[in-house]
Structure 1
């Protein structure tokens, strides 16, 4: 609801004559002066307008009231003045947003406290059914959450999406609010209309303490959300690796495959999260386990993409190499990862590392498998792969490594293209860096595809 400010400013701008939520008498000069004073944060001006009998509860454009405007401008002194002069707290704007709801969203503790102390109703909801408690649980001061719960706010009130205040708190990682709501009896396993539990909201927030509080309160770690997604898989999708480490320690399944056919160790290896890798290996994750068939059937619409290409069974080590994660590679090797594994498409650790953008990962890969000219099923060598990856920060260092290990720039792949031809036909920046490490020794300038000469058969072997 952060988009409300422009609308409220519009409401101020059309104090007279704009569409209003309900018919009002024409604004007096004092009413106009009050609106202008609130907009200008001029408490003295507002006091003078009220002394001239400005209507403190006048319904303005979009149903807003002067108190709503004062809350929106976050002027606590102005809020106090309007409350003292009789501003009512049970009037919501045309979206159903009450002064308390807006105060909770904007989060100023002093203003929220003033409105609560003035007796604001706790059960007024927005048009989408969201309560002030839910808004405060996500945005407002935790003391206000405690106050509302102590004064009768419903901890499990549902909004139009079937979400509870606990879900709102969990989505923002508000661990203190989560704890208060759980203590007040909020259901840790209620499911929203979209199929998400409070635990899923906490995982998405990335807050480990909020996630831990829900698990400790009995949140089901075996619940499956949309696409049969497990909590640990969701943590992987959202890159919430600290939460994933907690879930592993809590006994999550280490063998289950996600929508890409990856197990948790594959995800951790690609991300290079060392704590998660250590936790998974300590729990017995297989350092040589392979990716497999996804449980999810990808659904795509015409003209809106295609399912991802099939990936051959791949171990964590190759995924770490392909993502430039040298430290992760070292951990996996120490745990027994096979450095000589070759995927069905011919990818080796060196070919994988050539994609990773990391000189450190490529150095380690070449130490494990020193052949810099090994080719995959398409005839691409590490040099083809590296040049094909375009300009990147460590391109020069990686080219230097391959040159030092005897990489040849004249080997043609199955399409008949050599690394030199790729470099000369690609980005000028890549070409320049490439020829620093692989100078053209033939004297032939391959200016364009039409002038390229086919290499002798012996150079293609």
Structure 2
């Protein structure tokens, strides 16, 4: 009845009725005032600051009032005189429900204030990163992807990858509008963060979703090199090997599938990868071939002569061989050959004084050997 005679925007002590209703936490009065034409963007101005109704509701943690303002069409990303949005204010004052309300309404997480602070940085500086993270993850799980006008300020994919939440990550991938290989200002991608943080399941999900593990950050690191820094690097390696076996031949930026299979002694994987065209003679980043790695780990691979002719691996893991002297004219005698230490170093017998560096090896007998000696050597 009063509003039929008085304007709802008549100021009192620098505030309108809408401002006073918000201060009193009276959501019903806020709703009546807005229905009666109250200005949803009416500013409160003091000597030190200027803010709007949405900023007041966010600061006070009144999610019901905040929703009324949003439903009435307020500017959800309006800023105070210092550039703070309602989203930033929620993070600054740990207003969980208001943060959720704003995120669901599409508030922009990519904005920064005049000091260069964002909602995410406010949460971090206020020791509220975990609570902030939980709200955002729940919003994504509910099917709402947070808005961000600047991926460098806030990237939903990188945020979720660092949080390590599988269900939220699945929701983002299913959404299909995220750049799975987006790199931040330091060159880190989501799969790099998964590797750095030791999160194998997030790493697996991203790899199978098509994340490029060959990308390098500004320090020259890839997801593969970062995964090697973790105590559970063996699990990351297993993911990559499984992926290579399922998806076929692929150059994965520092991951050598055949070398990995040989070092692990996985004969079936070795055979499958070789059948797909993996080169058995290519050295890895440390100069090791698959043969060298298998021998170093003491794995034995039995192959037929036709396989050797095609360039397949022969692993010498401490096997007995016949050694001929004097250009083949000497009597053959048994020796144990084994790879030790650095790549290409072979040991004949047990003494380190018999170490030799193998520069080249060929399958077959020495031409100077007699037919009988050659047959003995093959055996």
Q: What's the TM-score bracket when you normalise by the shorter of the two chains? A: 0.3 to 0.5
More strand by share: 2
> Rg bigger for which structure?
2
TM-score, normalising length from structure 1? 0.37
Q: TM-score, normalised by structure 2?
A: 0.43
